[in-house]
A and B are shown apart, each in its own frame.
Chain A
Amino acid sequence: MSTAAPKPLAGIRVADLTMMWAGPYAAKLMADYGADVIKIEGPRAWDNIRTLFPPDELTDQWFNSGAYFHEYSRNKRGLSLDLSQPRGRELFGRLVAKCDVLIQNYRADVMDKLGLTESWLRELRPDLVIVGMAGFGKTGPEAASLGYGPIIEQMSGLVSLSGYGDGIPFKTGISYGDPIAGIAAAGAAVTGLIRRERTGRGVTVDLGQREVATTLMGEAFALWSMNQRLQDHVGNRHEWMAPHNAYPCLGEDHWVAIAVGSDAQWRGLVEAMGRPGWALDEAYADQASRWEHRDTLDERVSAWTSGRSKQEVFAACRAAGVPCGPVWKLTELVADEHLNARGFYEPISDPDHASWMVHGWVWRWTDSGPCILAPAPNFGQHTREILTGLLDVDPAELPALAEAEIIAGAPIDPPAVSVV
């Protein structure tokens, strides 16, 4: 078959009230896979991610130019609408009636305070799939907690598992809780749609971002349940593999990860290292013994790696069938041979903005074809087309809506640009 298969979410429309990280990540996944995602922002209540990491060179359109914003809102359409004004809310209601999914990541109480209650939404669209994703969920004694990704990661238990072994816990280098919650929220929306296909009924999802992250550590729960113990911090070591670590290489802050999980892989590493005499020592003859002597083993493997580039070590290990990976810096990652051979990165550009590379399909499927990417919408870019085309608003009414600041072509009174 030569024609590309339709995207799996073709024909699904999403009203996207999400902002910042977790929610936009969920909506991004849905947009990438074919949903018509309409990103709704109020003229005075707009997505702060636009200014959190603004472009290096500020332009008049800085609120449209942030790389972060583009990463999270590509392939979406942009609608400006003030939901705190009655006419704005009424127009929003008409939009909801034409949507399959409504997704929001406000704090637990915000939707109700805006008057956008579940019962109101259900009246407008009985089979709507509603996804809320407050940090700690919508109910319970901690529902009011504010949770950005780093807080979610801490409260989920994940941070407690990581560290070099000196007792200090470590977070990841990203706002880990956000993409994790975003993937699950997209899964929740799609699961709701599956159920709707099969039963005709909608569903209201109350996703607590922290809970999703906590599902990623089942064995730590088992260890506590069974033996009332916490997992030790093992740094880059492993419970039974050795060598297993990040080893220094030539250059500043260059490292390579090596993990030997079998005798065959050990023999491969010995070959890769040029069969040094020490490696034939009885102490390294089997897995248990290698693990026992992991300290000296790490020293000796480090001595080998530290005189070589990480690419050189990787090539030698690759040839010998040893699990190995250079610790890519981000500039190196985007040049990774395999990712590029698979077409993972795709160019994205906009006449108004720079051109750069972003990741394309995260999941490929048969006949998926290239990932066609549209840049994130300028603020309110599709307001006219959505209001007049989808909601049958008389074009003559648009100036009055703009006058009343129900819609806008740019954020009104944005705060000073802030960089974290």
Chain B
Amino acid sequence: MPAETTPASDPALDRPMAGVRVVDLSQGISGPYATKWLAALGADVVKVEPPIGDLSRAAGPWPGDVPDPETSGLYLYLNTGKRGLTCNLDTSDGRAIAAALCARADIVVESFPGGYLDERGLGYDRLREDNPAVVMVSVTPFGQSGPYADLPASEITLFALSGQMGVTGDPNRPPLKTGGSQPSYQAGLHAFTATQTAYLGALRQGRGTHLDISAQETFASMLEYYASYSSQGGEEYRGRLGNMISAIWGIYPCIDGYAGMCVLPRNYDRMAAATGIPELSEPPFNDADRRRELDDTLQAILYGWFAGKTRKEVHAVAMEFGFPAGYVATVPDLVESEQLAHRGFLQHDDHPLAGPLDFPAHLWVAPEHGWERGRAPTLGQHNREILVDELGYDLDDLARLRELDAI
């Protein structure tokens, strides 16, 4: 079929998701992160928020540290390019609005506890009666079923229960949660790819599906082979190794911060040459087996080498000699990065309420389709456009719905 299809002449259709209708009922990070990219790929994403707003509006950061639901940095990042609708699913009018939106949707994303939407007549079984091709994506901490399904969760408890926390941090200190909100973002990235995979399946097979994504499972699938290895002998394979897997696979202090190398045996000779330390190119260090026995000695030598370099000098010499090394980049490093600027990676927005913002704006570069760079909606910004222009409510209805706390 693809080869015979007439290429479209409308450049807007070049966006892979142009015209695809997405209803995003999710809150927080995971679901909104996934739908952020659907919007940037051209989909019409309607973000449905309760009248008090998405949780991420209360998360910050804010300009000058002054809390304001319209200037929360987390919200502004995760909801670029979407249209905003307020809708209270605990009112019958709100449920009717959501049902009307879902009836015309290609994709519905949600993050409620299992059963919540079913109780409100918005569950997958109900939606597919009218809309058999709809793809519904549920992303929750533990999935729709099983003994933990109703367990309250937090990022740190999920990180612990997925195995990732147990291998992260210094071996002589407590296990460490990573900074930022990595657990939620990981689930969000999975949700994005899962949504696209299911939507492609629906396009090709003519039937939709309901995806059940458990954050615990998405994290537990990213342990390389360590978990499955542990299942073979019942013996713990790997604890926490901190920043130093071995001397040539670690992070070291340098003049202006931290830098690291991740040298595999085939990269060793080039690394040794790059340091300009002759003994690293000679026995015993140029022999992989003997090197391992002398790891502490090698670490001491490399501590000295890193200590005399700036972060960017380490990366420059690694590029020149062709071995894997880099540095612990900070946000200003990234904002100022020539490489990222060359790639058009950051989106600059002089936001009317939040001031200037620089945000990551693509997952990859594809000249054929590009990425849209919209702004996140204010609370209920598109209520009138969606309810009146598209769903057939009149202006009196809007006032009534507002009074009933339905929108």
Contacts and interface: CB of A to CB of B under 8 A. Distances in A.
Given A147-B324, A363-B190, A225 B239 contact: no
A164 B170 contact: yes
Given A150-B249, A218-B74, A224-B331, A180 B164 contact: no
A311 interface: no
B62 interface: yes
A316 interface: no
B147 A244 contact: no
B227 interface: yes
A173 B169 contact: yes
A194 B203 contact: yes
B170 A194 contact: no
Interface stretch (A258-266, A274-282, A377-385, A405-413): A258-266
Contact of B186 (A8, A21, A207, A216): A216
A141 B239 CA distance: 38
A367 B258 CA distance: 49
Q: Which among B6, B61, B78, B158 has the highest number of chain A CB atoms within 10 Å?
A: B61
A334 interface: yes
B52 interface: no
A206 B364 contact: yes
B193 A234 contact: no
Given A154-B326, A241-B154, A170 B169 contact: yes
A225 B357 contact: yes
Given A8-B198, A418-B265, A222 B204 contact: no
B77 A221 contact: yes
Given A141-B338, A225-B355, A330 B230 contact: yes
Contacts of B155: 259
Given A214-B334, A359-B228, A145 B190 contact: no
Contacts of A261: 154
B64 interface: yes
A8 B261 CA distance: 39
A363 B249 contact: no
Task: List 6 A-B pairs, minimum CB-CB distance, nearest first.
Answer: A222-B73, A8-B201, A173-B167, A161-B179, A218-B77, A200-B5
Contact of A195 (B14, B213, B238, B355): B14
Contacts of B173: 164
A161 B174 contact: no
Interface string B166-193: 1111100111111111100110011011
B324 A200 contact: no
B176 A68 contact: no
Contact of B329 (A6, A154, A231, A235): A154
Interface in A95-143: 126-127, 136-143
Given A148-B324, A212-B363, A221 B331 contact: yes
B163 interface: yes
Interface stretch (B86-94, B96-104, B340-348): B340-348
B328 A159 contact: yes
Interface in A389-420: 415-416, 418, 420
A72 B230 CA distance: 16
Contact of A188 (B198, B240, B288, B363): B363
A156 B238 CA distance: 25
Contacts of A70: 225
Interface residues of B, number: 168
Given A29-B193, A160-B329, A154 B227 contact: no
Q: Which among A53, A216, A235, A356 has the highest number of chain B CB atoms within 10 Å?
A: A216
Interface residues of A, number: 158
Contacts of A48: 264, 266
Interface in A338-382: 338-339, 341-342, 344-345, 354, 356-359, 362-367
Contact of B363 (A170, A207, A223): A207
Contact of B360 (A10, A136, A214): A214
B358 A71 contact: no
B168 A230 contact: no
A197 B343 contact: no
A155 B359 contact: no
Contacts of A33: 197
A195 B343 contact: no
Given A8-B205, A327-B160, 13 more contacts: A29-B197, A72-B225, A140-B343, A151-B325, A187-B193, A200-B6, A219-B74, A231-B179, A257-B157, A257-B165, A363-B211, A365-B210, A415-B265
Interface in B322-380: 322-335, 338-340, 342-343, 345, 354-360, 362-369
Given A230-B330, A330-B167, A221 B211 contact: no
Interface stretch (A81-89, A248-256, A283-291): A248-256
A338 B142 contact: yes
A8 B359 contact: no
A164 B176 contact: yes
B367 A204 contact: yes
A176 B185 CA distance: 13
Interface string A208-229: 1001101111111111111100
A329 B175 CA distance: 10
A140 B205 CA distance: 40
B285 interface: no
A199 B222 contact: no
Nearest to B270: A146
B145 interface: yes
B369 A359 contact: no
A20 to B, nearest CB: 9
Given A184-B363, A255-B174, A222 B76 contact: yes
8 contacts: A6-B205, A68-B225, A151-B260, A151-B261, A154-B326, A245-B174, A338-B142, A365-B209
B85 interface: no
Interface in B3-53: 3-8, 13-14, 16-18, 37, 41
Contacts of B17: 191, 194
B152 interface: yes
A262 to B, nearest CB: 9
Contacts of B168: 162, 170-173
B220 interface: yes
Contacts of B216: 338-339
A197 B74 contact: no
Contact of A357 (B5, B180, B228): B228
B399 interface: no
A187 B38 CA distance: 11
A257 B198 CA distance: 34
Contacts of A11: 204
